[in-house]
Chain A
Amino acid sequence: MFSVDLIFEAVLFGILLGCFYAAVSLGLSVAFGLLDVPYVAHPALLILGSYFTYALCQTGIDPIVCGLLLMPVFYLIGIAFYRFYYETFEKRSTDTGVRGLAFFFGMAFIIEVCLILAFGVDQRTVSASYIGSSLEIGDYRLPYRMLVAFVIALSLTFVMTIYFSKTFNGRAIKAVGQDEGALRLMGANPVKIKQLAFGIATAVNALAGAMLIIVGPVEPAMDRIYIGRTFCVVVLAGLGSMSGTLVAGLVLGIAESIVMMTLGPSWAPAVSFGLLLLMLGARPQGLFGR
C-alpha cells in the first residue's frame, strides 16, 4: 500500500525530526532527569527562546547565531530559576511536591501569556538562506532546515555527553543527583553544582528554541504539545541518561513520522503522549534508566 520509497523517506525525515526532539529535551534531561526538579516550565522556556530568536533575527542576524547569543542570557535565567526554587522550596522541603509543581506550572502559563501579550497569537517565522529549499537525492527531498537542525542537535548532544562524562563539573552534576552527601565529601558544593546544571539546561534551551523556529513557525501555545514531546523523550530515555536521550528522541521522531504518513497528521500529537503513558505504565525507569 505504501511504497518503500515513501516509507524510507518518512524514516529519514523521522531521524532528522528525532534528533531535533532529543536536542530539545536535553535541558529537561538534566533538570528533571538528573536533578529531580519538576521543571514543567521547560517547554515554555523553549518557546521563549524561539521568540527571542525571532526578535533578534529582525535585526538581520542569522537565527543560529541568535540562538548562540542568547545562551548566556538563558544561562543566567536558569540560575535565577534554580536559586529561587531552592530558596523557596527545596531548602524548606515542606510539601515540595505540590508547591514545586504548581510553581513551575504557573510560571509556564505566565510565560505563555506574556508571549501572547507581547507578540500576539499569530505565528512567527524566521527566514534564512537554508530555509525553504531541500537537498535532492534522487527522488528524495530533505529540507535544509531539518538538516541544519539535525546537525546542531547532534553537535549539542555530543558536546553535552562529553561534558558530563569527562569534566569535573559535569561528573559532579551526575553525582549530585545520585548522592549529595558523597559529593559534599568530595569538596564540591551541591547547591552550586545544581545551579550550574540548571543554568546549562536552560542555556541549551535557547539554542533549541532557535532550532525550533528554524524548523517551522512558532506560536505561544506550542509549549503545551512540547510538554508531551520533551517528557516523552526524557521518560523513554530513563532519568539520568544523556545518551539515552538521543535514542529516545529518534524513537519518537521516527514513530511520529510514520504515524503522520500512515494515519495522517491528526494523530501525530497522540504519539508522544501515548508513548509516554505506555512507558509509565509498563517500564517507568525508561530504556536506559538507573
Chain B
Amino acid sequence: MKYAAYSSLLLLGLLTLSIMSGVNEYFFFAGFVVLQFVVLATAWNILGGYAGYVNFGVPAFIAVGAYTAVVLFKSISAPLLVQIIGGGILAGALGLGVGLLTLKLRGIFFSIATVAVVFILETLVNNWRYVGGATGLQLTRPGDLWFFDSYVRMLFFVMAVLAVFSVTIARYVQDSFLGRGLRAVRDSEEAAECSGVPTLKIKLIACTISGALMGIAGAPMPMYLSYIEPLSTFNLSYSIYALGMPIIGGTSHWIGPVIGALLLATLQQIVTVTVSNELNVLIVGVLLVLFVVIAPEGILGLIKRWKQSSK
C-alpha cells in the first residue's frame, strides 16, 4: 500500500509540474528522455537482472514500438494511447518470438541473437517505403493536447505514467512466483530445471514482458521528434544504456534500474547540452565496466554494504 501511495503522489507531483507555467520547455524535452530510460532500464532488468539473460537487442524492441506507432498514426490517425498499446503488443510479440528461437541456447547465444534481430529489423525498415525507409519520415503532430500547454509537456506526463506503470510491473514480477523462478534460473538453470521449475516458460514470459515494456517506451518517440528514421531508432547505444543503468543501479531489486536511470540519464542530458554526444557513451561505458568489476551489486549493493558496515 505504501508503494501505491508513493507512486500516486509522484505522479500527481509530475502532473502539477507539467501544467505549471514558468518551467522552461527544455526541461520537459530532456525529462522525457530521462523517464524513457527509466522504462527501458526497468524493462531490461526483468530479463537481464532477474534471469541473467543479457538482451543486447534493446533498439529492436524500441523500434518496433516506434514504427508501429508510425504505421498506426499514418494509416488510421490513431491517438497516442492506441499507438502506445499497439507498440507494446507488437514488441511483446517480438520478445516472444526471439525467446522461442533462442532461449533454449546458452546465455551468450541469446545475446548475439538479439543483436542479429536489431540488424535484420533495421534492414527491413530501411527497405520499407511506407514508413520512410532509410530516408525517414517527417510527421506532423496532431493538435490534441488534452489540457496541457504544449505537446512536449503532454508527452512528458505520458512518459511519467508509463514509467510508474513499468516499475509497478517489475515490482509485481519480482515479488511473484515468476520472480522466484527467474532468480532460480539465474543462480543455476540446471538446478532449477531439476527442481521442477518450468524454466523455458517463465523465461518466455519474462522476455515477452520485457519486450513489451521497451515497445511502449519507443512508441511515443515519433511524436516526440516529429520525425522518425532508422539509423537513430536502431542505434545500438540504447543497448549499452539499457543494460548499464540497471547494472550500475543494482539488478536485484526493481528500484535499482530506477536509480541507475535517473542518475545516468540526467547526467547524460546535462553533458549533451554542455559538452558532447560521445562523452555520453563514454561515461556510461566506463561506469558500467567499473561497476561490473568492482561493485557487481550496483549502487544498491554499495548502499547495503555501507549500511552493514556502519552497524
**A residues touching B (Cβ–Cβ < 8 Å)?**
32, 38, 40, 88, 94-95, 97-99, 101-103, 105-107, 109-110, 112-114, 116-117, 224-225, 227-228, 231, 235, 266-267, 269-270, 272-274, 276-277, 280-281, 284
Contacts and interface: CB of A to CB of B under 8 A. Distances in A.
A227 B111 CA distance: 11
13 contacts: A32-B108, A38-B111, A101-B54, A102-B292, A103-B289, A231-B115, A266-B123, A267-B123, A270-B120, A270-B123, A277-B101, A280-B101, A280-B112
B282 A114 contact: yes
Interface stretch (B69-77, B156-164, B237-245): B237-245
Nearest to B54: A101
A274 B243 contact: no
Given A102-B243, A103-B292, A113-B281, A274 B108 contact: no
Given A117-B282, A270-B123, A280 B54 contact: no
A6 B119 CA distance: 28
Interface residues of B, number: 44
A267 B128 CA distance: 12
Contacts of B243: 102, 105
Contact of B102 (A107, A266, A281): A281
A280 B104 CA distance: 10
Contacts of A98: 48, 52, 54, 107, 251
Nearest to A227: B115
A110 B52 contact: no
B56 interface: yes
Contacts of A284: 105, 109
Contacts, number: 117
Contacts of B244: 102, 106
A106 B288 contact: yes
Given A38-B108, A102-B247, A103-B293, A110 B285 contact: yes
A273 B105 CA distance: 17
A272 B247 CA distance: 30
B236 interface: yes
Interface in B100-146: 101-102, 105, 107-109, 111-113, 115-117, 119-120, 122-124, 126-127, 134
A113 B123 contact: no
Which of A88, A101, A110, A269 has most B Cβ within 10 Å?
A101
Which of A40, A102, A117, A284 has most B Cβ within 10 Å?
A102
Given A269-B123, A272-B119, 15 more contacts: A38-B108, A97-B108, A101-B54, A102-B247, A105-B239, A106-B244, A117-B278, A224-B236, A227-B112, A269-B119, A269-B122, A273-B119, A276-B113, A277-B116, A280-B109
Contacts of A277: 101, 113, 116-117, 120
B267 interface: no
A156 B108 CA distance: 27
A113 B285 contact: yes
B54 to A, nearest CB: 5
A266 B52 contact: no
Contacts of B111: 38, 40, 101
Interface in B279-293: 281-282, 284-286, 288-289, 292-293
Contacts of A113: 278, 281-282, 285
Given A107-B289, A110-B285, A273-B120, A266 B296 contact: no
A98 B278 CA distance: 25
A259 B109 CA distance: 25
A180 to B, nearest CB: 18
A110 B109 contact: no
A266 B293 contact: no
